[in-house]
Structure 1
Amino acid sequence: MPSYLSPGVYVEEIDSGTRPIEAVGTSTAGFVGTAPNPDAFIDEAVAINNWSEFRRRYVRDGDKGTDLANAVYGFFLNGGSRCYVVNTKADGAIAGKGRGLDALAAIDEIAIIAAPGRTDPASHGALLDAAESLKDRVAILDAPPRVDDVEVLTRAADGSAAPSPTPAVEGDAAPAAPRGRGPKPGLRPRDSDGGYGACYFPWLRGRDAVDPDSLAQIPPSGHMAGIYARTDSERGVHKAPANVTIRGVEGLTQMLSRAEQDVLNPVGVNCIRFFTREGVRVWGARTLAPSASNWRYLNVRRLFNMIEESIAISTRWVVFEPNAGPLWKDIQRDVGAFLTLLWRQGALAGARPEDAFFVKCDAETNPPEVVDAGQVVVVIGIAPVKPAEFVIFRIGQTAVGSTVETA
């Protein structure tokens, strides 16, 4: 206690003990590809904050546009504010010791990764491997610019088909492949059980970012990363980045019908559609997780990424603290306050906080053997909001007129 020597009013500042958990950023992107100047900052992750900065660092007079340049331009045009760029050799591997995706792995700030224009299985696999191993980012994958039959986008390169959204009748056998023939190879990326990747089809048509006088086929990953950032800023990471107009686009490399999207949506290939009144819009919000997975929606995966990393970073003060009841209560309080704030922002489902989440950290989750091992265990349950992917209107007629019900 302080010592007071004369009468009066004294004010003391005390530490309340609370340590608010701050949400980490979710909109910083990392791009790997070949810049217009192929010799600039090779295999070095360079922070870029606007298109002018990219031009200054990676474009010389007379350089031609590249998929990377168009993607970075689309990122900033559609709402992105900061990204990292790694310039790699043309047609080279996007991952390797100290280069490509490995150069982005050390940057915690990054929440989105892409290799614009890379549609080969090796690149898709490297992007998904990077996101799955780090668990703090999602990969945006580009499908080919166009296909003659959308069925090829339902099968991976090894010929394996994406799981059907409806289970087969018990006892039904899969049709046998013709003798002497294996499964046909496809163009869909492999599954990501945790939903750490999203694939978009087709490509965009627009003005080349480096040479605006010419038209270019543009991979959608850069524009989509910008839309992720725009949606996060305007609505929050819990809002699906879909039903949004893509800026800076004059058309698509392939027009899709509803029947074709009926084939692609269930297997996790997000379609980009042209609508007469609305223009070019993102019309899908699925991940590459199996259709029955809890991780099939992109906004759910990204919300959990944000929550997990925010809690991990903001609770580092716990390390080396006395592992007993007071610490457990502090953890419960801080995590509970953070999740309550997310619930109030509409990120979690439920009419009340107790319906939206729970946090348990007590003697039950931390028995003596756990404490003796130097561990503190917190059990957290979260109910995320999911997108209204299918809106159904039931229209019927009665004797006095028609009725409309929304399901």
Structure 2
Amino acid sequence: MALDFYHGLEIVEIDSGPRPIKTVKSSIIGLVGTAPDADTTAFPENTPVLLAGSRAAAALIGKTGTLPSAIDTIFDQVGAMVVVVRVAEGADAAATLANVVGGVDATTGKYTGVHALKAAQPTLGAKPKILLAPGFTHQKADASTANPVVTELIEIANNLRAVILADAPDGPDADLVAYREDFDSKRVYVLAPRVLISRDGKTVSEPMSSAVAGLIARNDQERGFWWSPSNQTMNVVGFDASIDYAHGGGNSRANHLNENAVNVGIRDVGMRLWGNRTCAADPMWHFLAVVRAHDMIFESVETAHRWAVDRPITKTLIEDICDSINAYGRHLKTLGAVLGLEAYPSPDLVTPQQIQQGQLYVDVKWTPVYPAEHIIMRTHIVGDYVEELI
């Protein structure tokens, strides 16, 4: 509003008030792998390329390497948006693994390997939320080291607010549990065993992460990001190892692995994913669905309030921010995405001293919806119904 002298009618636009909050896309997949026969124009090395559910565009990736089969398996589940990063095959397996790990090119300053996923949002406007590198997450140099690809992806997943689908190595349960124990991260979701896929008339064994990535994307689209992918079916032929599973008891291999945060494939009225647990040591972040719900909700809140940054701190600004978040919380509760969500000025931190430094604190309390991982049905033998015989 102008403060200079003016004689006449002036229209002043007031743009205060709450803003609607739009939920960010939760089902964009970030896929890293090899494809030696790819069209180099369509899929340049170490460059994120967006496939918007199109098998025609994916055909340019060729037929060799890890990417073609992974993309096909994802699309077998759903027509997902997939950010693809192609890396070069090395002279041997170790060199290829190093290319997948990547980093920053010292000459060009360009991200390489899994790090190229960080360039997806600024170059494509797409932020991957489900990260995987099938065929490269199971290897370990020795028993004392963790897989380098998963280790590298954790920092990237923290930056992107994404989760990592990590394929465990083949082997006995002790090896699977030992693999899971290499990580303490709410963003790592371990999978076993490999899935069986029908390809070119033959049944082949492939990493499960591609099928689960497509499953999570489909689950997000059909049900919502707050739903657990566990107990949902995958479009695969089967699994290359039988993991026994039994209703009504804990003495099964599936239950043992789930207890140790190894999520498995079971055959039970379809080929199902079975397991909710991340590799977090903190019980607050045990459930994958809770981690993803927190990521999606608060990135949406953060993105929607960019307009408020650098505005004068006034009572109106504080009310507008809280009103926007509270309206979004009511919408999420109606959808069944949260049990409740409420924003309010932080009573202990909104002080004159903090405001004078340009700092405004808003607290948001919320309760996620938790997956019904353990349903207990209690049975009682009573004599009440004997009377019906008389």
Same fold flag (TM > 0.5): yes
Q: Report the AA paired with residue 190 of structure 2.
A: C
> Who is 2:255 aligned against?
262
> Who is 2:88 aligned against?
89
The structural deviation recorded for 1:83 is 0.7
The structural deviation recorded for 1:396 is 3.7
> Who is 2:176 aligned against?
153
For the 8 Å contact 1:323–1:371, the answer to whether it is kept is: yes
Counterpart Cα distance in 2 of 1:229 and 1:2? 58
2:218 pairs with 1:213: no
Name the SS for the 2:284 alignment partner. Answer: coil
> Who is 1:399 aligned against?
383
> 1:363-378 to 2 correspondence within 5 Å?
364-378=348-362
Q: So what's the TM-score if we normalise by structure 2?
A: 0.82
Q: So what's the TM-score if we normalise by structure 1?
A: 0.78
**Residue 286 (structure 2) aligned to one of 296, 299, 304:** 296
Q: Report the AA paired with residue 35 of structure 1.
A: A
> Who is 2:184 aligned against?
192
Could you list the per-position Cα deviations for residues 245-271 of structure 1 after superposition, in whole angstroms to 9, with x for gaps in the alignment?
101x11111010132122211221111
> Who is 2:3 aligned against?
none
For the 8 Å contact 1:128–1:192, the answer to whether it is kept is: no
For the 8 Å contact 1:80–1:227, the answer to whether it is kept is: no
Counterpart Cα distance in 2 of 1:362 and 1:395? 47
> Who is 1:17 aligned against?
17
2:274 pairs with 1:274: no
Counterpart Cα distance in 2 of 1:383 and 1:188? 28
**Residue 132 (structure 2) aligned to one of 114, 117, 134:** 114
The structural deviation recorded for 1:399 is 2.9
Q: Report the AA paired with residue 129 of structure 1.
A: E
List runs of 5+ in structure 1 lacking aligned partners: 5-12, 156-186, 350-355, 403-407
Counterpart Cα distance in 2 of 1:220 and 1:22? 32
2:277 pairs with 1:286: yes
Percentage of pairs with the same residue: 29
The structural deviation recorded for 1:335 is 0.8
For the 8 Å contact 2:38–2:60, the answer to whether it is kept is: no
Counterpart Cα distance in 2 of 1:367 and 1:114? 45
> Who is 2:239 aligned against?
252
Name the SS for the 2:83 alignment partner. Answer: strand
Name the SS for the 1:241 alignment partner. Answer: coil
Counterpart Cα distance in 2 of 1:55 and 1:48? 7
Could you list the per-position Cα deviations for residues 183-226 of structure 1 after superposition, in whole angstroms to 9, with x for gaps in the alignment?
xxxx3363334x11211110101123xxx123221111111111
The structural deviation recorded for 1:16 is 7.1
**Residue 367 (structure 2) aligned to one of 371, 383, 386:** 383
**Residue 124 (structure 1) aligned to one of 128, 150, 156:** 150
The structural deviation recorded for 1:15 is 5.7
List runs of 5+ in structure 2 lacking aligned partners: 1-6, 90-95, 105-110, 122-126, 140-146, 246-251
For the 8 Å contact 1:29–1:83, the answer to whether it is kept is: yes
Counterpart Cα distance in 2 of 1:47 and 1:239? 25
Counterpart Cα distance in 1 of 2:103 and 2:14? 51
The structural deviation recorded for 1:369 is 2.2
Residues 92 and 2 of structure 1, relative CA distance in 2, 3 Å threshold? farther
Residues 301 and 80 of structure 1, relative CA distance in 2, 3 Å threshold? farther
> Who is 1:309 aligned against?
299
Kindly tell me the number of residue pairs found equivalent between the two proteins: 343
2:229 pairs with 1:241: yes
The structural deviation recorded for 1:54 is 4.5
2:330 pairs with 1:344: no
The structural deviation recorded for 1:316 is 0.5
2:71 pairs with 1:72: yes
Q: Report the AA paired with residue 207 of structure 1.
A: S
Q: Report the AA paired with residue 78 of structure 2.
A: G
> Who is 1:35 aligned against?
35
Counterpart Cα distance in 1 of 2:287 and 2:88? 34
> Who is 1:100 aligned against?
113
Name the SS for the 2:68 alignment partner. Answer: helix
> Who is 1:352 aligned against?
none
Counterpart Cα distance in 1 of 2:233 and 2:263? 14
Residues 217 and 36 of structure 1, relative CA distance in 2, 3 Å threshold? farther
Residues 262 and 316 of structure 1, relative CA distance in 2, 3 Å threshold? same
Supply the RMSD in Å over aligned alpha carbons: 2.4
**Residue 324 (structure 1) aligned to one of 314, 320, 333:** 314
Counterpart Cα distance in 2 of 1:398 and 1:274? 37
Residues 401 and 243 of structure 1, relative CA distance in 2, 3 Å threshold? farther
Name the SS for the 2:224 alignment partner. Answer: coil
> Who is 2:142 aligned against?
none
Counterpart Cα distance in 1 of 2:17 and 2:342? 21
For the 8 Å contact 1:33–1:116, the answer to whether it is kept is: yes
Q: Report the AA paired with residue 253 of structure 1.
A: D
Would you identify which runs of 4 or more consecutive aligned residues in structure 1 move more than 4 Å?
1-4, 13-16
2:49 pairs with 1:46: yes
The structural deviation recorded for 1:282 is 0.5
For the 8 Å contact 1:48–1:82, the answer to whether it is kept is: yes
